[in-house]
Structure 1
Amino acid sequence: MTINFTESEERRALRRAVADLAGKYGQEYFTAKAKAGEKTDELWAEAGRLGYLGVAVPEEYGGGGGGIGDLAAVCEELARAGCPLLLTVVSPAICATVIARFGTAEQKRRWLPGFADGTTKMAFAITESDAGSNSHQLSTSLRRDGDEWVLGGGKTFISGVDEVEAVMVVARHVAPGAGAPQDAGSGRRLLLPSLVIVPTNAPGFTYRHIPMEVLSPEKQFTCFFDDVRLPSDALVGSEDAGLAQLFAGLNPERIMAASFATGMARRALDQASEYARTRTVWDTPIGAHQGIAHPLAQCAIQVELARLMTQKAAALYDAGEDRAAGEAANMAKYAAGEAVAGAVDQAIQVHGGNGLSSEYGLGAMLAASRLSRIAPVSREMILNFVAQHTLKLPRSY
């Protein structure tokens, strides 16, 4: 297929519009909300009204009809302006995408218009404390009971549960009967992962805040499902569609996470470059010294390379090339995580002592940038993936 590495005028116009919107709020707004324990509701609502959050939702449901590349551009420009909204990675990217591709007609009518205008937020829950990166070992279970589903188990490090109306949960569908693989000693056949939509007010669903060092209005939670009963139409797609359906949401997550990271990296480089141009020592701007200029230039190169790989991944995904998109999305996520960690670290170094002062806000970015090397998939697991699938090396885990 042919991939255009020059963004369309429509995409560039979208970036400018989102940058203008986010500039009205900025890093001071984002930081103040986070420190006060408040949400960025005003920014989210305005972005929704203007159609930016719904750019990838099909037009028939009120969206822009674009692709994941358009939504990634929105995410990146918000982050560059100092407003990295984590739920853009989750709600309109993972949840809306999965429902648009695999949901029933009623699920699409129920959820997609809200994703399109930003009035709906949905979290996504896959991570478990004992499974970690091994999505094949999830213990959260889903079973049939008459016309209902019963969900049991728990999830951890789930973003934004306190500000959404529902959570899309990845669970193992457990069915009675013989077959392989079997759950040892139970005689139950373990099927592939299933996706269910769980309202946050469902009886038996509770959650607990996880205190984090990352300064963000969007919090992390541990979720508990104590025999949560759900109607039959809570299931999204097939009950045993497995990893193919799951990765229809996870590949956009990696693309969005890469854009989230490159947006932060560009923010850090903007600040560092401005400081290096204006900070004068011995009558010379510090940016005139190669000891300052060269490391910043190296960071800029790495950020642009990560952005280019992210664009490739988005183009492949939007073209329906899921296998190639998965490889590219993992590479983009890796490159972006390394780029943002390096850019923020160098920006702090350029600022000297000011780099860790509250006035400049770079210290708060340090933990967030480091998180990009861990979540939503660690750099080590990406290296495992590339070694096995790209280089055809023996599996190491």
Structure 2
Amino acid sequence: MPTIETDEHKALRSAVAALGKRHGPGADPDHLWSEAGKLGYLGVNLPEAHGGGGGGIAELSIVLEELGAAGCPLLMLVVSPAICGTVIARFGTDAQRREWLPGLSDGTRRMAFGITEPDAGSNSHRITTTARRDQDTGGWILNGRKVFISGVDIADATLIVGRTEDARTGRLKPCLFIVPRDTEGFTRRPIDMELNAAEKQFELALDDVRLPADALVGDEDAGLLQLFAGLNPERIMTAAFAIGMGRHALGKAVAYARDRTVWNAPIGAHQAIAHPLAQAHIDLELARLMMQKAAALYDAGDDLGAGEAANMAKYAAGEACVKAVDQAVHTLGGNGLTREYGLARLITASRVARIAPVSREMILNYVSHQSLGLPKSY
């Protein structure tokens, strides 16, 4: 498995970094999204036959990381092309691919992803949103609640995770449905967040939402296979989001430590300042290596191996990001809390990578059970 980027990856990284530099912190996210789509960056992981770049999650993670390093991350990259685009490309019908993938690739359409519920959290086995057959039309009727769903107001549709009853066993199994934004019975309520982000968070209600039969994505019996086809890219892209943010904060701290002079020497000359910044850089680089491994495994079709690596990458990147942001703020002292330097807002934002889309504790559970073979306490 290569650990050195190809020339194509280096060129992509350089080009996206230039785009991010042109926009920078405080950029209009819609304008940036539109330009990134026109340049082909939003759909680098989607099939060429449907307007994409024909690459994989490895390429898309580079896009998000570099935009984050420039201070203008696009969180909807995690959701729209990475989760929804990947699931539709792998499991959608030909009609669904034709309808959605070109727009997801060029940025003219967006799709949100709805899995988290008030009482289920990270436990996908406890999802209570149900889908049953409409005996009159042959379609589906969905009922349930979702919470902390990003970007529903700017998305053309939401890929909803529900559960249907297995005709043979009677047990509920996960299924995925495309729910257009203005579907009757599909309502949203914004959640009042202190997080300063372009994408708003919503609580969703599905009350007898009626969908046609072709709203179902993939095979009704595929279950968890289709679900984790989206969740593994989500974890990899969250790692990219965190690494980019950590690099952005570290870059500001390093520049300040070079220029800020106290007692006739730059503060970066003092090891008490320099060593923690060096450690933050090391941690971010190590997290990127695990992210690259996870992306390579996923793009190679090794879903099982990618699951372990994606969780580890998300964990490592989240920890590295929080530490980098904290150290950057401490390096700047009082200036680290001013609007001029833009680091204070990252104190809250960096925590997102620790708690979403799955908490660090649930990742430790996964590794202890799946990787180490230790017994469960639940």
* Corresponding position of 2:18: 20
TM-score by length of 2: 0.98
Alignment partner of 1:339 is 2:328: no
* Corresponding position of 2:238: 257
User: How far apart, in 1, do the equivalents of 2:70 and 2:194 lie?
Assistant: 21
User: How far apart, in 1, do the equivalents of 2:377 and 2:75 lie?
Assistant: 32
- Tell me which of 148, 152, 157 is aligned to 1:161: 152
* Corresponding position of 1:268: 249
The one-letter code of the counterpart of 2:110 is K
Moved over 3 A (4+): none
- Tell me which of 142, 156, 161 is aligned to 1:170: 161
* Corresponding position of 2:219: 238
Secondary structure of residue in 2 paired with 1:123: strand
* Corresponding position of 1:36: none
User: How far apart, in 1, do the equivalents of 2:75 and 2:193 lie?
Assistant: 14
**Offset at residue 191 of structure 1 (A):** 2.5
**Offset at residue 371 of structure 1 (A):** 1.5
Matches within 5 A, 1:58-207: 58-146=47-135, 147-174=138-165, 180=169, 189-207=170-188
Judge conservation of contact 1:172–1:190 (CA < 8 Å) in 2. Answer: no
Matches within 5 A, 1:274-293: 274-293=255-274
The one-letter code of the counterpart of 1:149 is W
**Offset at residue 257 of structure 1 (A):** 0.3
User: How far apart, in 2, do the equivalents of 1:46 and 1:238 lie?
Assistant: 35
**Offset at residue 84 of structure 1 (A):** 1.3
**Offset at residue 355 of structure 1 (A):** 0.5
User: How far apart, in 2, do the equivalents of 1:224 and 1:239 lie?
Assistant: 23
* Corresponding position of 1:185: none
Secondary structure of residue in 2 paired with 1:372: helix
Judge conservation of contact 1:5–1:308 (CA < 8 Å) in 2. Answer: yes
**Offset at residue 148 of structure 1 (A):** 1.3
* Corresponding position of 2:300: 319
User: How far apart, in 1, do the equivalents of 2:281 and 2:305 lie?
Assistant: 26
Matches within 5 A, 1:355-374: 355-374=336-355
> Which sections of structure 1, spanning at least 5 residues, go unmatched?
34-39, 181-188
Note the aligned Cα RMSD (angstroms): 1.0
> Which sections of structure 2, spanning at least 5 residues, go unmatched?
none
* Corresponding position of 1:307: 288
The aligned length equals 376
**Offset at residue 190 of structure 1 (A):** 3.0
Residues 323-374 of structure 1: CA deviation (Å, up to 9, x unaligned): 0000000000000000000000000000000111111111101111011110
Residues 54-77 of structure 1: CA deviation (Å, up to 9, x unaligned): 101101111110011000000100
TM-score by length of 1: 0.93
**Offset at residue 120 of structure 1 (A):** 1.1
